Amino acid sequence: MTALGALFSLGALSSASAQEESSTSASSPRILPDVQAESVLTEVRNRLDGIPFLSCRLSETVHLSNLRFYARGHYSQANGNRVRLDFEIYPVRHVRKSDQALLALDGPEEDTGRQKPTGSLQQVSNGRTLWTLWQNGDSRRLTRRSIRQILAAADEAESFDVQQMLEDLGVGGLQALLARLQVGMEFGRVREQTVGDTRLLVLTGRWTAESLKDYFRVEKAGTALPGWVPDYVRIYVDADARLPRRIQYLKQHPNPKLSQVRPLVTLDFRSISIRSEADDSVFEFQAPDGLPELDVTEKTIEAIRKAAGATGPGEPTGSGESDSGSEASAD
């Protein structure tokens, strides 16, 4: 998904992560030799596909160089490519030593105190149209895309995958994001960890050789990726509910002799609510009075056709205009 899609021969990460170390009620992870990561991901995707309506609190924390970005809000999804994201975006600040504790798996949602959001992001899809409303200070921008027209154009282009396009647009739900990770990464052994009263399955993966070539044009194994590109992903799944609790992208230490990783992007899903029927009103978009709406459907389709003509099947493509310490070792 646009906001969530924060994008991304593995062994699992063997030591406790920075988040696990800082959790006060977390047990040490143990390997589950009879559980396969592929099976867990498929079960979670099938579970999400079968839920008529899901909503949750969502937060995103990004550590890039010495800067920290934080956003939080509410996320909902329903069948028929319907999604809604309401995000408050907080000011960028420098990383602090105390930030590690804020990522504890058993910790509450971050208390921002007197700090006020300086921007917002709202994305609403009713299954036919996707609206994106950005606000940064006094600046606002509203765009719309016709999902059906874009998917039809993607379906005509041999080098485009329709499911991938749904994830790029941000309307495929959490299952589309997990599908991208399942296809694009190799996963190691599954670990189990208990945090409070919740039993979690911990899945750790890294890019396949094909993904490195397709996404980043990396031909040689071992080539260092740019600082903003994650090397690993770690997915925490509620073992009983078979729903994601956290998706975390990790960056390897620049010194290859040090088997350490650090959090790059952390997506936390809290207070998940499931209903047997979707609330259609959630996916209705109300544009602010007087704000012009920019239709970028044709620009997106033009980008698809251009990319389809320039790439072969299986090579990376895009959805057009953008809206703008812990140890590791291989098993």
Three-state secondary structure of 87-120: EEECCCEECCCCHHHHCCCCCCCCCCCCCCCCEE
**Residue that has been written with the tokens 């995000």 in this structure:** 87
d(CA 269, CA 196) in angstroms, rounded, equals 16
Per-position b or e across 160-188, b if 16+ CB within 10 A of its CB: bbebbbbbbbbbbbbbbbbbbbbebbbbb
Between helix 37-49 and helix 173-184 the angle, nearest 10°, is 160
- The confidence score (pLDDT) of residue 141 equals 97
SS3 290: coil
d(CA 201, CA 20) in angstroms, rounded, equals 13
Comparing CA positions, the residue from 97, 106, 111, 103 lying closest to residue 18 is 103
Phi/psi for 67 (5° steps) reads: -115, 150
- The confidence score (pLDDT) of residue 146 equals 96
8 exposure class (CB count in 10 Å sphere: 0-12, 13-18, 19+): buried
Comparing CA positions, the residue from 2, 144, 173, 145 lying closest to residue 82 is 173
- The confidence score (pLDDT) of residue 46 equals 96
- The confidence score (pLDDT) of residue 10 equals 28
Per-residue pLDDT of the chain (331 residues; tens, 9 = 90+): 344 443 332 222 323 333 344 455 677 889 999 999 999 999 999 999 999 999 999 999 999 989 999 999 999 999 999 999 999 999 999 999 888 889 999 888 898 888 999 999 999 999 999 999 999 999 999 999 999 999 999 888 877 777 778 878 888 899 999 999 999 999 999 999 999 999 999 999 999 999 998 888 888 877 888 888 999 999 999 999 999 999 999 998 877 777 788 999 999 999 999 999 999 999 999 999 999 999 999 999 998 888 777 544 444 344 444 454 444 433 4
Residues pairing with 252 in the sheet:
261
**Residue that has been written with the tokens 């996404």 in this structure:** 215
- The confidence score (pLDDT) of residue 2 equals 42
Residues pairing with 27 in the sheet:
none
* Positions of E strands within 239-306: 243-252, 260-275, 293-295
* Contact status, residue 185 vs residue 51, Cβ threshold 8 Å: no
- The confidence score (pLDDT) of residue 21 equals 40
Q: Write out the two tokens for 28.
A: 């040490």
Q: Write out the two tokens for 2.
A: 């646009």
Comparing CA positions, the residue from 279, 208, 200 lying closest to residue 243 is 200
d(CA 264, CA 253) in angstroms, rounded, equals 11
- The confidence score (pLDDT) of residue 20 equals 42
Cα 54 to the center of its chain, rounded Å: 16
Amino acid in the structure at residue 309: G
Has this prediction a pTM greater than 0.95?
Answer: no
Comparing CA positions, the residue from 158, 168, 161 lying closest to residue 313 is 158
d(CA 327, CA 331) in angstroms, rounded, equals 13
Comparing CA positions, the residue from 249, 235, 180, 236 lying closest to residue 208 is 180
Q: Which option is the CATH number for 18-327: 1.10.645.10, 2.40.30.10, 3.40.50.300, 2.50.20.10?
A: 2.50.20.10
Comparing CA positions, the residue from 186, 199, 197, 329 lying closest to residue 253 is 329
- The confidence score (pLDDT) of residue 22 equals 47
CB atoms within 10 A of CB 311: 16
